[in-house]
Amino acid sequence: MKRYSAFAIAREAMRHHTGWERAWKSPEPKKEYDVVIIGAGGHGLATAFYLGKNFGITNVAVIEKGWLGGGNTGRNTTIIRSNYLQDESAAIFEKARSLYETMSKDLNYNVMFSPRGVIMLAQTESEIRGYKRTAHANNLQGVATQYIDAQKVKELCPIIELSGPRYPVLGGLWQPRGGTARHDAVAWGYARACSDMGMDIIQQCEVTGITRKNGKVTGVETAKGYIKTKKLGIVVAGNSGHLADMAGFRLPVESVALQAMVSEPIKPCMDVVIMANTVHGYLSQSDKGEMVIGGGTDVFNNYTQRGSFHHIEETVRALVQTFPMLSRLKMLRQWGGIVDMTGDRSAIISKTPLGNCFINCGWGTGGFKTIPGSGWAMAELMADGEPRALAAPFTLDRFKEGRFIDESVAAGVAH
């Protein structure tokens, strides 16, 4: 595949952009693969990419029922941070964040990583205590965060109103190298690199059944016929329960809609990402100028990938006291995605009761930021058949054994 470069842009400009290749091929499925991955979201594609890059395994198919990146990967609000509390989480989230730093170069695809800084606002006394504790934990884990006072928050984000009265801004947890990236580009960049390694990305091809023999997966039934495989990875976020059911095991995961919206575009007014977790809303400004706004999950299990009016009202109401300028903005678009929530709000990267079947799910409301780290760890698990250090704590067994990785504070909020 031809490399993207400034020279290539100049060359194509001279010939009216007629020489660009398709970014990835659209092949028909082969009869058999060494590895089949179900789900061409960020996590599935990153798993395939690191299987090829780190282990030389390239006889791989990534099977997607819709279009690649059309699930939560293309629906999220793109916040990247690694300021989680527990050591196990900090390791994988910081690995992912550091891979974002070099992703555009590694994939030869501009994913527009923008480490503009992330502030989690402290608006109650208990949040001050909680974020000071997280900052101390992060410093021990090698994650650069610090607790800042309200004046520093105002300096970093002049449009904020500190005084309340309901929830004044008292300070915040600041991660200077957190930020955002372009979500579609992350999926497209991985897809292009996988296709370049000879892997097949098969879109519009729903998996409808998983066949098994003697405690192992033998293949998958799909809309494009039966495909045999030596190893299977299930990486389907909100649909994980359905796929596990097809494979004959159960997951401790609930599916719930999470919504977000953008305002009309306005002039640049905010160059950090802000989360207000007490009132449960967060916002950043996109490169187009839209305010990207998210809130909490729906309070009931469901599979609806769309927005609803109560969400606009609740989220804007939550944020408007701290960001009064929001009251004068028109909302332009709203959407939803189905997120996969575990009880301890941490992910599952695990072997399953079937010897050659592996699952990656449970990233819930916050898995965009972990795409590269999760793909890295899942590739290790699928290549070796056993987890290495990054994935080892995130097994399914932890729910039986009570080894929870409690991130209900850091990840129980929606981003």
Binding-site ranges for ligand FAD (CB under 6 A): 38-44, 63-66, 70-73, 75-79, 206-207, 235-237, 239, 243, 258-260, 294, 337, 339, 363, 365-369, 415
The CB-of-213 to ligand FAD minimum distance in angstroms stands at: 21
Select 45 or 122, whichever has its Cβ closest to ligand FAD.
45
Select 267 or 288, whichever has its Cβ closest to ligand FAD.
288
Question: In Å, how far are 141, 241, 363 from 298, measured between CA atoms?
Answer: 33, 18, 16
Select 20 or 303, whichever has its Cβ closest to ligand FAD.
303
- Closest-by-Cβ residue to ligand FAD is 41
The CB-of-57 to ligand FAD minimum distance in angstroms stands at: 19
CA geometry: angle at 340 spanning 339 and 341, to 5°?
115
Select 79 or 150, whichever has its Cβ closest to ligand FAD.
79
The CB-of-324 to ligand FAD minimum distance in angstroms stands at: 23
Select 258 or 274, whichever has its Cβ closest to ligand FAD.
258
Q: How many whole angstroms separate alpha carbon 176 and alpha carbon 275? A: 14
The CB-of-345 to ligand FAD minimum distance in angstroms stands at: 12
Which of 37, 3, 187, 197 has its CA nearest to residue 112?
187
Question: In Å, how far are 29, 110, 146, 177, 187 from 181, measured between CA atoms?
Answer: 31, 9, 22, 12, 11
Q: How many whole angstroms separate alpha carbon 334 and alpha carbon 225? A: 36
The CB-of-16 to ligand FAD minimum distance in angstroms stands at: 34
Select 76 or 145, whichever has its Cβ closest to ligand FAD.
76
The CB-of-259 to ligand FAD minimum distance in angstroms stands at: 6
The CB-of-79 to ligand FAD minimum distance in angstroms stands at: 3
Exposure string of 285-309, with b = 16+ CB inside 10 Å and e = fewer, is: bbeeebbbbbbbbbeeeeeebebee
The structure tokens listed for 28 are: 């028909």
Select 4 or 365, whichever has its Cβ closest to ligand FAD.
365
Which of 214, 207, 217 has its CA nearest to residue 358?
217
The CB-of-58 to ligand FAD minimum distance in angstroms stands at: 20
The structure tokens listed for 156 are: 């970093």
Select 219 or 337, whichever has its Cβ closest to ligand FAD.
337
